């Protein structure tokens, strides 16, 4: 586990985020904000046969939330919905290689929450 | 002349060793640090005369009552109020403003009336009025800021005062921009239009001479913890003739003169507004805080902070690519400086500062309409000084900014 929150991988992902794109015909999306710090993220998911076929995000955020969004979106691509729904803070910390601590964990978790909320909306839609 | 190096020795937290480095505390607009004189006064109260105040027959109860009352005398003197009748102790600025909105405001504001505040208000001087306006069907107006230097647009004030607002509530110093507003002039004009004026003094009373008689405001609200005192003690100053006609907000012990099964009559000012056992340790600690500030002189504090702010503004302006919010010079400006490094989120800035043991604040600073709607930012970084800060502290902050730029490859 890294000591330094701003290790090279996090700065790199902040500057060159992965999967930063709007998916126009997404099957589900969610807009999550953290009004306290001004982080603002939209997650777009394409779903096929119960699996995440494609994922994109956009918005404005700090280095932690942006790097976290890159790593989470990389990680969930190709996974089944049920696998993704089991993900939580532990998985996000593992992906970041650093525990951001109590003050910043909400930044790291914002994209994860957005993914889970988007999947929740997708489930609701399927049930109808 | 203030000798910050010497005064720092009174503050245990500033002398503490944090794994080889000293704390550089630049978050004084949020809360100040506490000198040992204040900490010791509270310890002394609990270890030698802890007792409930008022009506105690025994010695230590009298001593506790005396200490509590004398702290109000000190506060009254500090802001040049007539006496302790004008000084209501509450938890903080927020509670003081809510008290006015819920009692005076609820009685005087009717449907269709106007309430006037400004775009630079802290949520504490905004949300209570929003709630009141909503409950009464009244209209909440905002004095705009001048887009050039983010000061109050006085032309806009004059046009909105024309609507004869019942209440004008304005901050004396912005907790984000550091702007000092001319509340004396605002009060004078507001009174000509028959408005009652509340001044939010949370960021002014700790840093500059505030004279309620000269200002002529009807209410002044401020907090003890931003001026060396403990948390949980704040002040509502009110003009006597207004407080006398106000109904209490809370009922209970201590605030009554006489109670029968049918009705009650109220205790004298200021006790009418202080139901239940008071925050005695808070009063005692606050009294010690005022003693400390008086000893070094509030005018000296203002002059010293002005020099620090001038130094900091010059240093910041010399850093390429940095943006400063609020007035860029030291005219009518306090020691709060908000800034941004484009391309870096303020929370990341504050996090890097923390890695050098420098405490600054990042976010909307409880002024969302100002930060989000006027400055058009999600968040800003803020450093705010007090008399124990030094030029060396500012140099360290500047160094940290350079490190942020380096880390995030900002050139």
Residue pair B377/A38 in contact (Cβ under 8 Å)? The answer is: yes
Provide, as residue numbers in chain A, all residues whose Cβ is less than 8 Å from the Cβ of B409.
11, 15
DSSP string, B292-331: HHHHH-HHHHHHHHHHHHHHHHHHHHTSTT-EEES-SSST
User: Is B317 within 8 Å of B333 (Cβ atoms)?
Assistant: no
Q: What is the pLDDT of residues B140-158, one digit of tens each?
A: 999 999 988 889 999 999 9
Q: Which residue of chain A is at minimal alpha-carbon distance from B381?
A: A37
Q: How confident is the model at residue B282 (pLDDT cuts 50, 70, 90)?
A: very high
Residues in A closer than 8 angstroms to B368, CB to CB, are 35
Identify the band that residue A2 occupies on the pLDDT scale cut at 50, 70 and 90.
low
Residue whose pair of structure tokens reads 């985020």 in the numeric block? A17
Q: Is the pLDDT of residue B253 over 90?
A: no
Of A14, A15, A60, the CB nearest to B378: A60
> Cβ contacts (< 8 Å) between B346 and chain A: which residues?
37-38, 62
With CA atoms as reference, the chain A residue closest to B367 would be: A36
CA dihedral B285, B287, B291, B294 (to 10 degrees): 120
**Chain B contact for A61 (CB, 8 A cutoff):** yes
DSSP state of A53: E
Q: How confident is the model at residue B207 (pLDDT cuts 50, 70, 90)?
A: very high
* Chain B closest-CA separation from residue A69 CA (Å): 15
Choose, out of A38, A41, A100, the residue to mutate when testing the contact with B (most B CBs < 10 Å).
A38
pLDDT at position A51, please?
97
Q: Which residues of A touch B355 (CB under 8 A)?
A: 4-5
Closest Cβ–Cβ partner in A5, A11, A63 for B345: A63
Query: B308: which 2 tokens?
Result: 């620090």
Q: Of B28, B6, B4, B5, give the one whose Cα is nearest residue B383.
A: B28
Give the pLDDT of residue A1: 53
> What is the predicted pLDDT for the residue at B382?
97
Q: Exactly one of B67, B76, B96, B366 is catalytic; which is it?
A: B366
pLDDT in tens, B106-116: 999 999 999 99
Identity of the residue in B362, B377, B407 whose CB atom sits nearest the CB atom of A11: B407
Task: Output the CA–CA distances (angstroms, integers) from residue A78 to A16, A41, A57, A107, A123, in the order listed.
Answer: 22, 21, 16, 24, 18
CA distance B343 to B329: 25
- Taking residues B206-220, report their average pLDDT: 98
Q: Which of B355, B379, B409 sits opposite A38 (nearest CB)?
A: B379
Please give the average per-residue pLDDT across B261-282, as a whole number: 94
Average pLDDT over residues B388-392: 98
CB contact, 8 Å: A123 with chain B?
A: no
């Amino acid at each position: 586990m890294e000591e330094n929150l701003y290790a090279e991988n996090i700065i790199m992902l902040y500057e060159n985020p992965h999967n930063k794109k709007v998916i126009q015909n997404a099957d589900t999306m969610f807009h999550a904000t953290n009004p306290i710090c001004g982080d603002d993220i939209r997650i777009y998911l394409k779903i096929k046969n119960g699996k995440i076929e494609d994922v994109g995000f956009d918005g404005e955020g700090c280095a932690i939330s942006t790097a976290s969004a890159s790593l989470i979106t990389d990680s969930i691509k190709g996974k089944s919905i049920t696998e993704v729904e089991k993900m939580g803070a532990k998985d996000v910390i593992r992906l970041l290689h650093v525990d951001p601590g109590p003050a910043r964990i909400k930044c790291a978790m914002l994209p994860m929450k957005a993914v889970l909320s988007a999947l929740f909306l997708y489930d609701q839609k399927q049930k109808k | 002349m203030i000798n910050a190096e010497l005064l720092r020795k009174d503050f245990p937290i500033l002398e503490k060793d944090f794994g080889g480095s000293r704390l550089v505390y630049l978050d004084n607009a949020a809360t100040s640090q506490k000198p040992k004189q204040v900490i010791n006064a509270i310890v002394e109260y609990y270890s030698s005369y802890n007792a409930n105040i008022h009506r105690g027959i025994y010695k230590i109860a009298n001593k506790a009552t005396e200490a509590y009352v004398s702290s109000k005398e000190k506060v009254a003197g500090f802001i040049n109020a007539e006496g302790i009748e004008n000084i209501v102790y509450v938890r903080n600025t927020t509670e003081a403003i809510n008290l006015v909105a819920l009692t005076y405001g609820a009685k005087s504001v009717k449907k269709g009336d106007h309430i006037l505040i400004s775009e630079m208000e802290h949520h504490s001087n905004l949300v209570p009025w929003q709630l009141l306006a909503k409950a009464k069907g009244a209209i909440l107006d905002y004095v705009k800021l001048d887009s050039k230097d983010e000061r109050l647009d006085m032309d806009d004030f004059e046009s909105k005062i024309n609507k004869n607002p019942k209440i004008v509530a304005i901050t004396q110093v912005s907790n984000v921009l550091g702007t000092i507003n001319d509340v004396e002039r605002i009060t004078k004009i507001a009174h000509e239009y028959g408005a009652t004026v509340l001044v939010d003094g949370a960021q002014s009373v700790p840093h500059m001479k505030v004279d309620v008689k000269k200002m002529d405001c009807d209410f002044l609200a401020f907090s003890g913890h931003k001026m060396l005192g403990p948390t949980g003690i704040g002040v509502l100053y009110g003009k006597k003739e207004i407080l006398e006609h106000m109904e209490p907000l809370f009922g209970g012990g201590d605030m009554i003169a006489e109670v029968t099964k049918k009705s009650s009559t109220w205790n004298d000012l200021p006790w009418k507004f202080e139901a239940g056992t008071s925050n005695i340790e808070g009063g005692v600690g606050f009294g010690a805080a005022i003693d400390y500030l008086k000893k070094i002189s509030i005018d000296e504090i203002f002059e010293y902070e002005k020099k620090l702010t001038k130094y900091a503004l010059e240093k910041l302006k010399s850093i390429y690519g940095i943006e400063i919010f609020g007035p860029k010079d030291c005219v009518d400006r306090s020691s709060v400086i908000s800034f941004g490094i484009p391309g870096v989120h303020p929370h990341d800035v504050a996090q890097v500062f923390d890695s050098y043991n420098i405490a600054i604040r990042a976010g909307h600073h409880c002024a969302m309409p100002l930060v989000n709607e006027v400055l058009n930012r999600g968040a800003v970084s803020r450093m705010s000084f007090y008399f124990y800060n030094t030029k060396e502290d500012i140099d360290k902050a500047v160094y940290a900014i350079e490190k942020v730029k380096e880390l995030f490859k900002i050139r």
